[in-house]
Structure 1
Amino acid sequence: MTCLPLANGDWVVPGRAYLCAFQDMARKQVVGWQVGATMPEELVTNALQRAFWSQPAAPALLVHSDRGGQYCGNAYRQLLHDHGAIRSQSRRSDCYDNAQAESRGSGLKTEVPEVRERPLFADLADAQRSVADYFDYHNHERLHSIIDYQTPYHTHQQLLQLNALNCPA
């Protein structure tokens, strides 16, 4: 989860929007996200549900997060259980355990302002639109060195074709 600055405040409520995003680490594809004005457990469960809708959970899927209270709630744990996913959390006070999420948040905060006229989001709706546009770009256009300078979408399509070839009829 990361904070996004809004133009109507300076990093204090109501000047914030909160983003929760889940990323498929093998493909670098952002598979589920949600932006909200507050950060209740529902923000996290909505993002995770979107991830499960976009691609069904593989057996023993590992879902990693930091130790925020939203990732410890009953609804979040039940959603993981319902999809056969395993909860993984960072060690206490160790930001390096969650480096991928930190990197994704940093990328969003540095790449989005570069293409915008304003460095801040005008309001919550502007933040939601901008994040949607960014993740669309991230998944379908941005090349990632870790996946051989391919887009996450292209890598996902290649893995789907490979799985189809290896799947018995």
Structure 2
Amino acid sequence: MADRAQPAGPKLLGEGPNQKWGSDISYIWTREGWLYLAVIIDLFARRVVGWAVADGLHRELALAALCRALTMRRPAPGLIHHADRGSQYCSTDYQAELRKHGILISMSGKGNCYDNSMVGTFFKTLKSELVWRTMFGTRQQAGQAIGRYIEGFYKPVRRHSALDFTSPARFERMTAN
């Protein structure tokens, strides 16, 4: 039972975009082999703000997604960036890029995959609505289809129950000050 005599902790997350981003990498099978997808999601509206694909699992993949997110969103210092403890996110280059922009680094506890569940939910949605229904011949075909899904459907159209059944783009517009 909570001791109500003690004050609650401060609310560190704001009520708008660019307060907390989650990041992770997943993989998609093609006839050429694995295609890796790195995403960065603004957790306020579950909007994919950065993404990149590559044929290898390396720090350049994660950095490409981060650079896309930074270019598109231009967040103010103080944004919280959350990721797992993968080598891509622990790399000197990746963490230096975060610090250069005044972004606070948050990482999952060792062996804890649950505190980045919104990004995991995005990957499950992408795979159930696109990837598991399609056999991609090439990595290029898969990358193009993923790009169309993210940019043409997921962000502007796909409704989310957690967002009062609106799309991420519409939710951000509706909540803009």
TM-score grouping bracket, smaller chain normalisation: 0.7 to 0.9
Matched to 1:133, the amino acid is R
Aligned to 2:35: 17
Matched to 2:165, the amino acid is Y
Aligned to 2:62: 44
Aligned to 1:158: 174
Aligned to 1:95: 113
Q: Which runs of 5+ in 1 are unaligned?
A: 9-14, 163-169
Aligned to 2:93: 75
State yes or no: 1:122 paired with 2:137: yes
Q: Which TM-score applies when normalising by structure 2?
A: 0.81
Between the aligned partners of 1:52 and 1:159, the Cα distance in structure 2 is: 21
State yes or no: 1:4 paired with 2:40: no
Q: Which runs of 5+ in 2 are unaligned?
A: 1-24
Task: State the SS of the aligned residue for 1:140.
Answer: coil
Q: In the TM superposition, what is the alpha-carbon distance from 1:96 to its structure 2 partner?
A: 0.9
Q: In the TM superposition, what is the alpha-carbon distance from 1:95 to its structure 2 partner?
A: 1.3
Aligned to 1:11: none
Task: State the SS of the aligned residue for 1:30.
Answer: strand
Q: In the TM superposition, what is the alpha-carbon distance from 1:120 to its structure 2 partner?
A: 2.4
Aligned to 1:58: 76
Asked if structure 1 preserves the Cα contact closer than 8 Å seen for 2:46 and 2:118, the reply is no
Label 1:159 to 1:53 Cα distance change in 2 as closer, same or farther (>3 A).
Answer: farther
Aligned to 1:147: 163
Between the aligned partners of 2:86 and 2:80, the Cα distance in structure 1 is: 17
Asked if structure 1 preserves the Cα contact closer than 8 Å seen for 2:28 and 2:131, the reply is no
Matched to 1:125, the amino acid is Q
RMSD, matched Cα: 1.3
Asked if structure 2 preserves the Cα contact closer than 8 Å seen for 1:65 and 1:98, the reply is yes
Between the aligned partners of 2:51 and 2:36, the Cα distance in structure 1 is: 11
Asked if structure 2 preserves the Cα contact closer than 8 Å seen for 1:35 and 1:127, the reply is no
Select the structure that is richer in helix: 1
Q: In the TM superposition, what is the alpha-carbon distance from 1:127 to its structure 2 partner?
A: 1.4
Q: In the TM superposition, what is the alpha-carbon distance from 1:159 to its structure 2 partner?
A: 3.6
Matched to 1:142, the amino acid is R
Between the aligned partners of 1:103 and 1:154, the Cα distance in structure 2 is: 19
Q: Which TM-score applies when normalising by structure 1?
A: 0.85
Aligned to 2:128: 110
State yes or no: 1:131 paired with 2:146: yes
Q: Give the length in aligned residue pairs.
A: 152
